[in-house]
Copies of this chain bind each other. A is one copy, B any other.
Amino acid sequence: MTSPLRLGIAGLGTVGTGVVRIVQDTADLLSARTGRRIEITAISARSRGKDRGVDLSAYAWEDDPVALARRDDVDLFVELMGGSDGPAKAATEAALSAGKPVVTANKAMLALHGQALAELAEANGAPLRYEAAVAGGIPVVKALTEGLAGNVITRVSGVMNGTCNYILTRMEHSGLPYEEIFAEAEGLGFLEADPTLDVGGIDAGHKLAILSAIAFGTQVDFDGVQLQGIERVSIDDIHRARDMGYRIKLLGEARRTDAGIEQSMRPTLVPADSPLGQLEGGTNMVVIEGDAVGQIVLRGAGAGEGPTASAVMSDVIDIARGFTLPTFGQPASSLAPAKRANAVTACAHYVRLMLRDEPGALARVATVLGQAGISIDRMRQYDHPGADAPVLIVTHPCAPVDLSDALSGVVATGVVRGDPVALQIQTP
């Protein structure tokens, strides 16, 4: 048997504790599966004294994660602190520079600094793995980089933020408005310290940008993700979508088009009876389309101690087995900058706007949309107790960018109050 693989773990929150638990509880199984003992030698976290429900007494303690990464008795650095910069990035760079493999769950760091870190990893011959950064326990990074590597990938889509899916499904089942369910989720501890990361779609956008880079062989381009959060999705939108046979999900879409790479993360109407439409609560789902394989759907828990620790361990096991591949599945130097082609793929849209109570207002809206080439499938003005009338429009397929321009034109007429809400309807 080869020498043990000695882990240094920085960050002992939920996920870190879960990793410690797996290493302690399944040592023999891990050894049978990798041919090596997997051991923890040193740890680091913000608070040393906290009771985490696991015995940490056998491990050396470091206050400084960079020092942890550099220790001679650490072969593999496990980064579970989070944060795109600061100590997480510094310690990751220290480990890679020392030629040590790094396993991380840090989607923000990968999404914002993925290219530089990939170059550093490859320059030092050290793998940088991050299965836990995307979709929790679902082995989607492995599926894309390895399992489907014989395919030209054409599209990656999915629900990748469990908190948003929880909020949207809770709104639907309870009939309560966004603000109330948001407060409930906050009380349950489901939201990040900065909740915009969740409900603004940023966290999910980080994940999509990572998958997009692997899928299309481009440099990770988080700034190229068109982001729209769920804050403006109303309970009325959810009910009207349901009446039309749809549910609203925070859906990520990354597509290879003739014009370039299209990435978006936005609330989207998906058919209620489709696999994505049936997702409840915190479950994640990723759909991958390749030229040979067709469509592959992966579903599982997107967060939580066990699922995320499972993903961390799969990377640790790969490294124990000696598997090594470039960070995004091909050499960092071969990744081209992503040519952005956003909002070009045509799809039907759901549009909600508040019409001022003026004669001819609805006709003005229809005229402006028609002049902009937006063809209307359905249009309905609802009963209204107040002065303004809610109007629901479903368009025929059109480019999102064209609809956006047309709606600016509608707003400019002065017949609507506030900004219209426009949601895409997923193309099959």
Contact = CB atoms under 8 A, between A and B. Distances in A.
Interface in A212-261: 217
A311 to B, nearest CB: 8
Nearest to A290: B310
A18 to B, nearest CB: 7
A298 B140 CA distance: 10
Nearest to A299: B297
A149 B313 contact: yes
B314 A146 contact: yes
A32 B293 contact: no
Contact of A22 (B292, B316, B318, B329): B292
B293 A26 contact: no
A-side interface mostly: mixed
Contacts of A312: 150
Interface stretch (A74-82, A131-139, A189-197, A357-365): A131-139
Nearest to A285: B297
B149 A292 contact: no
Contacts of A293: 137, 300-301, 306-307, 310-311
Contacts of A334: 32
A26 B361 CA distance: 55
Interface in A309-337: 309-314, 316-318, 321-325, 329-331, 334
Contacts of A147: 131, 139, 142-143, 314
14 contacts: A29-B152, A29-B217, A30-B150, A33-B330, A137-B293, A138-B296, A142-B143, A146-B318, A146-B323, A148-B310, A273-B278, A275-B278, A292-B313, A322-B323
The 8 closest A-B pairs by CB, nearest first: A150-B313, A139-B147, A137-B293, A292-B306, A293-B310, A297-B299, A292-B310, A296-B300
